[in-house]
């Protein structure tokens, strides 16, 4: 997951390949609550691991549920519909972040379990309405206080006994604000179903497919709800939750929308065509799978099987769409970005629920689409998007409003025909439902040019520390080119290959396939930390020997090029900007006086218990500078277009800020 302040997406040229999606958030949190309320133990397979599910799991642990990992699955021992005696009447505070799929159902369930609870969340959660659910619960006799603004969390729930509840008359709940209110009641009321309990929906029920998910899962846990259309639901007398033993969570159909759209938008790459999605098929119980129908209307070609989808580009430009999107409220946001590639204005209607989601999504989408250059009209329950001609696309910093779906759907704007980049602010918000979203996107996407920052300089100038930190702050890959010959020498020694001409081809083959990774200041070879192994005197001698073999140098040059992967690369060495990446967008030549470098190296060695003197270190560095500068192959010298940075008197923080400021200057985004 990217935890950076922003993530720059270079212009993406195409995409093809296979993706496997995480489990559905809607199914995951429903299953977790049902397993917690049920008798027995439920093993849950393919559960989504995200912010929302972690919030729910934290609450269930606090309530006394047994939660045990079982390999890649999770085993939950339920409460059997009763709180453990240990909770008694003690106030239990529960923090639920911005997880509506935890706040709403837990409010209903805890109101009927008989304990004393305080439910709170992030500031945005305290702006999301819950009054209609609370009104429905107080009709029954539940005791709930608002701790802030009436109608909104945080809440204080007081215990009541089932004898105090008024369950004879139908419970009325509004259906035109959020389907989560009805879902919450359906999930919780079996706790009190000594007799039939009837729920009546007031107004038009929105997001009906999410209620279908709820009813389907209730049936899996032994509760068969009778319904009369979408207006009246009856929970039968004597209903009891019972564990199904095992249950599999479908992949998230809402998350599938981004890759369905990707298949419709992107041309193929590397001889492949189309996107294959594994983990969910057209027969999914999730309502957002009907996004497929909308994508087909816009021109996508879709094939499907029991647990997979394949999408290819069909009509181009895409066909404009006029759609009542009430049945796919989350996935419809993806259509708003697809509309930029259409042949006319597209209208999404009946989406008033967007305004009470993680953010006001109608305003958010309108604002950010306009940053890209689009003409947008928005109203109380609709948004109309005009397509963008090639010449009108603008590079834009997309504000995400801490809303995962805003971040994910706007990533598709990087496939624009104008070849302009897109910056996603606070990309970590995707952790709510799809922590590895961007990594998954990059696994199938291809850029016409992946950005590179080169930081070259003499030994002990601090280029490795600087480059690694710049890479971390940008979310880019990092290449420590100075370690390559040492790792190659180590690999050759371990393979029993002496570094000579007779073994040149074999060592070159080893070098070409080195499974290297540079992370958190470590050099990993096939996952093994070899940072100390390659810093020995013997490793230095091995490095010198293999570097004399031309085939090895060529293989390592190819290996360095393969580090150039999305979203970008920061590479340090002595010839990154002159030989390896001469087209890099930013080249930095880092220098420092020999005295300062010797002092830094002295402190480093002394801290490791290695005895040395400043004079000897300075002499060694000056001699190495002379050798490196006079090499016949890839000598140490700044690229003609490199920016010089003398850090003799600078802190590492100042050096980092300088390089990041230079990077901003060569980007079309003037600020993060």
Cα angle value 558/560/561 (rounded, 5°): 65
Catalytic residue among 132, 330, 403, 542: 330
Q: Which of 62, 49, 71, 52 is nearest to 91 (CA)?
A: 62
Q: Are 24 and 253 in contact (CB under 8 A)?
A: yes
HEC profile of 528-573: EECCCHHHCHHHHHHHHHHHCCHHHHHHHHHHHHHCCCCCCEEEEE
What Å distances lie between residue 373 and 365, 368, 370, 389, 581, CA to CA?
A: 13, 9, 5, 9, 33
Task: Show the tokens assigned to 64.
Answer: 């006394």
SS3 647: coil
Q: Which residues contact 90 (CB under 8 A, 6 or more apart)?
A: 116
Q: How many CB atoms lie within 10 A of CB 57?
A: 21
| CA–CA distance, 260 with 33 (Å, rounded to integer) | 30
Q: Are 332 and 351 in contact (CB under 8 A)?
A: yes
Task: Show the tokens assigned to 127.
Answer: 């702006």
Q: Compute the 3-state secondary structure of the chain and give helix, strand, coil in percent, each to the nearest 5.
A: 40, 20, 35
Greatest C-alpha distance within the chain = 93
Residue 319, classified by CB atoms within 10 Å of its CB into exposed (0-12), middle (13-18) or buried (19+), is middle
Annotated binding site for ATP: 457-465
| CA–CA distance, 248 with 43 (Å, rounded to integer) | 9
Annotated binding site: 25-26, 30, 100, 128, 178-180, 207, 330, 357, 361, 405, 432, 457-465
SS3 627: helix
Task: Show the tokens assigned to 669.
Answer: 């985004």
Annotated binding site for phosphoenolpyruvate: 25, 100, 128, 180, 361, 405, 432
Residue 179 Cα to chain centre, angstroms: 26
Q: Which of 648, 26, 614 is nearest to 330 (CA)?
A: 26
Cα angle value 647/650/654 (rounded, 5°): 105
Does 330 qualify as catalytic in the annotation? yes
Annotated binding site for 3-phosphoshikimate: 25-26, 30, 178-180, 207, 330, 357
| CA–CA distance, 386 with 374 (Å, rounded to integer) | 6
Q: Are 393 and 416 in contact (CB under 8 A)?
A: yes
Q: ω into residue 144 within 30 of 0, thus cis? A: no
Which residues have a catalytic role annotated?
330
């Amino acid at each position: 997951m990217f935890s950076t302040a922003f993530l720059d997406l270079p212009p993406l040229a195409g995409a093809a390949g296979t993706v496997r999606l995480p489990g559905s958030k809607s199914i995951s949190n429903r299953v977790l609550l049902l397993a917690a309320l049920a008798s027995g133990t439920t093993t849950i397979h393919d559960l989504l691991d995200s912010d929302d599910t972690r919030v729910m799991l934290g609450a269930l642990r606090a309530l006394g549920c047994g939660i045990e990992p079982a390999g890649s699955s999770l085993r939950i021992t339920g409460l059997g519909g009763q709180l453990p005696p240990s909770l008694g009447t003690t106030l239990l505070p529960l923090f639920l972040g911005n997880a509506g799929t935890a706040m709403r159902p837990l409010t209903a369930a805890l109101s009927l379990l008989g304990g004393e609870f305080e439910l709170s969340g992030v500031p945005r959660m305290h702006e999301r309405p819950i009054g209609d659910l609370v009104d429905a619960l107080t009709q029954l006799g539940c005791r709930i206080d608002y701790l802030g603004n009436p109608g909104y969390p945080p809440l204080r729930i007081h215990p009541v006994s089932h004898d105090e509840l008024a369950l004879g008359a139908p419970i009325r709940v509004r259906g035109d604000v959020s389907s989560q209110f009805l879902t919450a009641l359906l999930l919780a009321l079996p706790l009190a179903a000594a007799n039939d309990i009837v729920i009546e929906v007031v107004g038009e029920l929105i997001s009906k497919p999410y209620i279908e998910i709820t009813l389907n899962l209730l049936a899996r846990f032994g509760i068969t709800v009778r319904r009369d259309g979408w207006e009246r639901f009856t929970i039968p007398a004597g209903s009891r939750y019972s564990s199904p033993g095992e249950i599999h969570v479908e992949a998230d159909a809402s998350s599938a929308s981004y890759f369905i759209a990707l298949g419709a938008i992107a041309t193929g790459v590397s001889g492949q065509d189309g996107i294959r999605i594994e983990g969910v098929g057209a027969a999914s119980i999730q309502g957002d799978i009907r996004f497929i129908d909308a994508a087909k209307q816009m021109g996508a070609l879709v094939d499907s099987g029991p647990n997979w989808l394949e999408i290819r580009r069909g009509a181009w430009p895409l066909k404009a769409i006029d759609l009542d999107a009430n049945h796919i409220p989350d996935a419809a946001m993806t259509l708003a970005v697809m509309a930029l590639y259409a042949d006319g204005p597209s209208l999404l209607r009946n989406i008033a629920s967007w305004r009470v989601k993680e953010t006001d999504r109608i305003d958010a989408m309108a604002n950010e689409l306009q940053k890209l250059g689009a003409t947008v009209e928005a109203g109380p329950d609709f948004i109309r998007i005009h397509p963008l001609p090639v010449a009108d696309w603008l590079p834009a910093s997309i504000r995400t409003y801490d809303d995962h779906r805003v971040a994910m759907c706007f990533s598709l704007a990087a496939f624009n025909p104008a070849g302009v980049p897109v910056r996603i602010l606070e990309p970590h918000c995707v952790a709510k439902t799809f922590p590895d979203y961007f990594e998954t996107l990059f696994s199938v996407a291809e850029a016409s040019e992946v950005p590179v920052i080169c930081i070259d300089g003499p030994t002990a100038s601090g280029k490795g520390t600087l480059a690694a930190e710049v890479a971390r702050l940008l979310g880019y890959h990092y290449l420590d080119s100075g370690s390559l010959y040492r790792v190659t020498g180590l690999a050759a020694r371990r393979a029993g290959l002496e570094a000579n001409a007779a073994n040149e081809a074999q060592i070159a083959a080893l070098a070409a396939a080195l499974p290297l990774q540079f992370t958190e200041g470590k050099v990993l070879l096939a996952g093994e930390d070899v940072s100390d192994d390659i810093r020995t005197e013997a490793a230095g001698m091995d490095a010198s020997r293999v570097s004399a073999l031309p085939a090895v140098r060529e293989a390592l040059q190819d290996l360095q090029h393969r580090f150039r992967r999305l979203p970008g690369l920061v590479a340090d060495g002595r010839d990154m900007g002159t030989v390896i990446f001469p087209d890099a967008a930013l080249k930095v030549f880092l220098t420092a006086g020999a005295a300062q470098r010797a002092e830094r190296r002295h402190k480093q060695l002394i801290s490791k218990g290695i005895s040395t003197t400043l004079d000897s270190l300075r002499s060694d560095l000056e001699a190495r500078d002379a050798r490196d500068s006079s090499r016949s192959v890839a000598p140490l010298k700044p690229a003609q277009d490199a920016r010089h940075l003398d850090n003799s008197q600078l802190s590492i923080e100042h050096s980092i800020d300088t390089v990041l400021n230079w990077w901003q200057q060569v980007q079309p985004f003037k600020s993060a």
